Amino acid sequence: MLLEVRGVIKRYRRGAAPANDGVDLAIDAGQVYGLLGHNGAGKTTLVNQIVGLMKPDAGFIRISGRDVVADASFARRVCSIQPQAQVPINGLTPRQAIQTLGRLRGGTAATVRSRTDHLLEALALGEWAGMDGARLSGGVKRLVSFCMAAVTPGRLVMLDEPTNDVDPVRRRLLWAQVRALADEGSAVLLVTHNVIEAERSVDRLAILDHGRVLTEGTPSDLKAGVADGLHLELVLEPGANAPEPPSFATSYVATASRIVATVPANIGGEAATWAGNLRRAGRIEEYSLAAATLEDAYVALVGAATVEEKTDVRAA
Amino acid sequence: MSALRSYRLLVTWQARRMKMFLPLGIVVQALFAFGIVAGYPLLFPTIDRTTILYLATGGPAVSLITIGLVAVPQLVSQARTEGTLDYMRTLPVPRVVYLLADMTVWLAVVVPGVIFAVLVAAIRFGLDLEISPLVVPAVLLVVLTATSVGYALASLLPPMVANMASQVLVVFILMFSPLNFPADRLPGWLATIHGFLPIQAMGELMRGTLAANTFPLTAGAFLLLGAWCAATFAATSVVLTRRS
């Protein structure tokens, strides 16, 4: 086991609700591990404790069996991190920034050079490689920040929301590089609230909510709860009221413009008829019915707090 | 990895990060020093040689001190707010090396201004300054202490407060510190305070090494500054290492 987190509790202020409330995690080398949760679930707090920016109030964190709460400098040597906040590299070009980080992390000049070239090419960043960091777009900066963590990767690579602002094509390229990091032996801890992307990219994941791990396992383990379900999504006509939840829905979340529900697989026909009637009545623009996803499992577990523009939530 | 290699890489990193600021900083520094040397005399109808020497040596001192106590806290506060400082803290580099690399870059910003100011003073007033070789350790110690105090301010105080404190310090340094005039002109209580603060000693080091034939240079000033430098450097290292 490469990273072992046991019973970690962290409060920002005495008496405040804990940001981490007894977190347990275990990640092996070669694994991409997703840490999912909505804003404020305690994901970044956990990352900051692993890399030694913060100290847990209770519990322990071990990397390769070594206590990193006691020895934070060891954590910094063996962890490389892409922080959630953009790292300003004004004045440096992406190539310079990536190479400097690679060398600071102990890579030899030749290795770092060839690895930098490889990453810039793999993420299709060539045209920006020599441009001043101040002129880069948010998405390109985010990718450069990933390269800075990946050029001389640690035994543990922690990526905090690495795909924010990144275009769909380069997201795929990025996921391939995340996988490559794990294949080359690093453990990758991937922090995200993008459930759909996580489903395709991680080997295991944990869902964090209010500082606690709600559940942990492979994406299919987590989907087991909704495995015999279908994902029903309705897009409301502008200004139309959300229809009353039908009796067959096992979960039902309505926002101002969208309804997401799960229904048992054997009710698929009935659900399609119900949604078709709504469309003919002009109350919805369109609907889709598909196999349940990790997002459905996630919503079922964490509840509707994850859905933005929340207006009405009912459990059917 | 060797500390020396980290130091070299970080100096390059910081110099590149500040390369927009570097020429501007050097020009502002030079103008600042020039303003004191050439502008202050306009306040006086007649001006004697001692006053001129005070201004000629006080100008460079003020310019060194303001960079450390004003520009450093502002930029470090900014780095704290935008998260750069925390990012640097996640790298496998000893804090002391990080601080020293930063100070090296600051040194490169301030030294050209000092040289320029001394030249202007010498030409403007036809001064024959007797520059002692001790000017090198003196400038080093003054810059290290000033940036170290600036770092400590920015690390210990919340960013907003650090910014305000640095603004107030400008006035205090320019108007109420014995840099461009002798300490005996200050009210007794303020002179006593300055006996413990590092500013007067910084002025003494600059005066005593740039006009060695006129002003005394005491070991006490070196010692006092050394103590300030060590104390603030240690405080900053502790703050940078501390985990919340």
Q: Which of B82, B90, B244 to mutate to test the interface with A (most CBs of A within 10 A)?
A: B90
Residue B155 has pLDDT above 90, yes or no: no
Question: Residue B15's closest chain A neighbor by CA?
Answer: A91
- Six-digit token string for B27: 């020009």
The CATH number of A3-222 is 3.40.50.300
pLDDT above 90: residue B25: no
pLDDT for A271-304, tens place per residue? 999 999 999 988 899 999 888 888 888 877 776 5
- Taking Cα atoms as reference points, which of A187, A194, A200, A188 lies closest to residue A165? A194
pLDDT value at residue A309: 36
Residue B61's CB is within 10 A of a number of other CB atoms, namely 30
pLDDT value at A306 more than 60: no
Question: Tokens 């110690």 map to which residue?
Answer: B141
Res A253: pLDDT: 83
pLDDT tens profile A263-278: 888 888 899 999 999 9
Residue entry with tokens 């003494």: B204
| Predicted confidence (pLDDT) at residue A307 exceeds the cutoff of 50 | no
Residues of B in contact with A88 (CB under 8 A): 17, 82, 84
Residues B80-86 have a mean pLDDT of: 85
Question: What's the sign of the alpha-carbon dihedral B96, B99, B103, B104?
Answer: positive
Q: Residue type for A277, please?
A: N
Q: How confident is the model at residue A144 (pLDDT cuts 50, 70, 90)?
A: very high
Question: A66 vs chain B: nearest CA distance in angstroms?
Answer: 16
CA B74 to chain CA centroid, nearest Å:
14
Per-residue pLDDT tens for B91-123? 999 888 988 898 898 888 888 878 888 888 888
Mean pLDDT value of segment A79-93:
90
Instruction: Report residue B1's pLDDT band, with 50, 70 and 90 as the boundaries.
Output: low
pLDDT of B145 strictly over 60: yes
Residue-level pLDDT at A35: 94
Q: Are A24 and A6 in contact (CB under 8 A)?
A: yes
d(CA A54, CA A73): 13
Average pLDDT over residues A57-86: 93
How many other C-beta atoms can be found within 10 angstroms of the C-beta atom of residue A314? 13
pTM for this entry: 0.84
Q: Quickly state the pLDDT bin for A315 (edges 50, 70, 90).
A: very low
**ipTM beyond cut 0.90:** no
Q: Name the one residue in this structure whose structure tokens are 């001129």.
A: B52
pLDDT at residue B168 is higher than 60:
yes
Structure tokens at A274: 């119900």
Return the structure tokens found at B26. Answer: 């050097």
Cβ of A52 within 8 Å of Cβ of B1? The answer is no
Q: Flag whether pLDDT at A231 surpasses 90.
A: no
Contacting B residues, span 79-138, partner chain A, CB-CB under 8 Å: 82-84, 86-87, 89-93
Residues 183-222 of A with CB under 8 A from B: none
Contacts of residue B167, Cβ cutoff 8 Å, sequence gap at least 6: B70
- Domain-by-domain residue ranges, chain A? 3-222, 228-291
